[in-house]
Amino acid sequence: MRGPAIGSRRFHWTDAGIERQTTMAEGVALACEGITRFYGAVRALHGVSLSIDYGEIVCLVGDNGAGKSTLAKILSGTLSPDRGRIFVGGRAYEGYDMRQAQGLGIETVHQHLALCDKLSGAENIVLGREPARFRLGPLEILDRPRARDIAEASLRAVSARIPSVDLPVEKLSGGQRQAIAVARAVHSASRIVIFDEPTAALGIKQTAATLDAIRNVARTGLAALVIMHNVDDVYEIADRIVALRLGFVVADVPRNEITRSELAARMAGHE
């Protein structure tokens, strides 16, 4: 069953936390049509189409080489498609770069997290969108209390806890670092957060916390596209499952309309 289409929003930061503001029409957060990508003579994606609603969690699954990462990179702006279109906010694009994707409200939580180890949790969460206490031309001085408030509100939005947002992230556990990366995405995104194998390097307790964080991302109204290899985790959080095999979409169904064995058969090409 699809998640609620409750509209994209931007967060308004207050001392009390986050207030959600709906800024766009309800419905589809991000869609693509006929996405094709070549690596030399090898076609990694064959006319892939999908859409993701606001408030919906879509899990993208498939065996190694199925095209999951290639599709995610195209939607996040890391790669451009050779053919096909992406639709954001009712406008069609034939590709965009990462900066443009971020401007369109698309954020990615990478498998390697892309955090700055020497910076604090708060500094990582506001990185690139730092609140300034003082500006003089290109010179800006970080408003640290404001950054701390934003970081704590972002973590609360995904029900994540860390010892202190003032600690350098190099001193945090893997799960706590993951929470910082998710909170940063929630702070910056206005449409969708793309997760690249978010539980791949985590233990059981940290995995459960990360799955809860993804659920909470959807509860804020953002769409979530999650690349996953663990089928049990997929069935824990997915509203809808999209499966790829050798660059083709072989399933795009609500989670409760396909069994684990049916999904495995489609990914393996046995159906």
DSSP designation for 44: E
State residue 129's pLDDT score. Answer: 85
Other Cβ atoms within 10 Å of 189 Cβ, number: 27
Q: How far apart are CA 199 and CA 227, in angstroms?
A: 10
Q: Is the dihedral of CA 219, 181, 179, 167 positive or negative?
A: negative
What residues are paired with 139 via a beta bridge? 136
Other Cβ atoms within 10 Å of 258 Cβ, number: 18
Q: Which domains does the chain have, with CATH numbers?
A: 9-268 (3.40.50.300)
Other Cβ atoms within 10 Å of 38 Cβ, number: 12
Q: How far apart are CA 203 and CA 208, in angstroms?
A: 9
Bridge-based pairing state of the strands 192-196 and 223-227: parallel
Distance of CA 46 to CAs 194, 225, 269, 270, Å? 21, 19, 16, 19
193 in Cβ contact with 109 (< 8 Å): yes
Confidence of residue 21 (pLDDT cuts 50, 70, 90): very low
117-168 pLDDT, tens digit per residue, is 999 999 999 988 888 887 777 778 888 999 999 999 999 988 888 999 999 9
Mean pLDDT of 182-210: 89
Higher pLDDT, 6 or 38: 38
213-270 pLDDT, tens digit per residue, is 999 999 999 999 999 988 999 999 999 999 999 999 999 999 999 999 999 999 998 8
DSSP characters for 200-216? TT--HHHHHHHHHHHHH
State residue 152's pLDDT score. Answer: 93
Q: How far apart are CA 125 and CA 140, in angstroms?
A: 17
DSSP designation for 120: B
28-86 pLDDT, tens digit per residue, is 999 999 999 999 999 999 999 999 999 999 999 999 889 999 999 999 999 999 999 99
pLDDT for 2 beyond 80: no
State residue 26's pLDDT score. Answer: 58
3-state secondary structure 144-198: HHHHHHHHHHHHHHCCCCCCCCCCEHHHCCHHHHHHHHHHHHHHHCCCEEEEECC
Mean pLDDT of 99-117: 90
Report the mean per-residue pLDDT for the chain: 86
Confidence of residue 211 (pLDDT cuts 50, 70, 90): very high
DSSP designation for 257: G
pLDDT for 16 beyond 80: no
pLDDT for 107 beyond 80: yes
Report the predicted TM-score, pTM, of the whole model to 2 decimal places. 0.84
pLDDT for 18 beyond 80: no
Bridge-based pairing state of the strands 28-39 and 17-22: unpaired
pLDDT for 7 beyond 60: no
Confidence of residue 12 (pLDDT cuts 50, 70, 90): very low
116 in Cβ contact with 124 (< 8 Å): yes
Query: What percent of the chain lies above the pLDDT cut of 90?
Result: 66
7 in Cβ contact with 25 (< 8 Å): yes
**What separation, in Å, do the N-terminal and C-terminal C-alpha atoms of the chain show?**
23
Query: What percent of the chain lies above the pLDDT cut of 70?
Result: 90
Q: Encoding tokens for residue 101? A: 């994707």
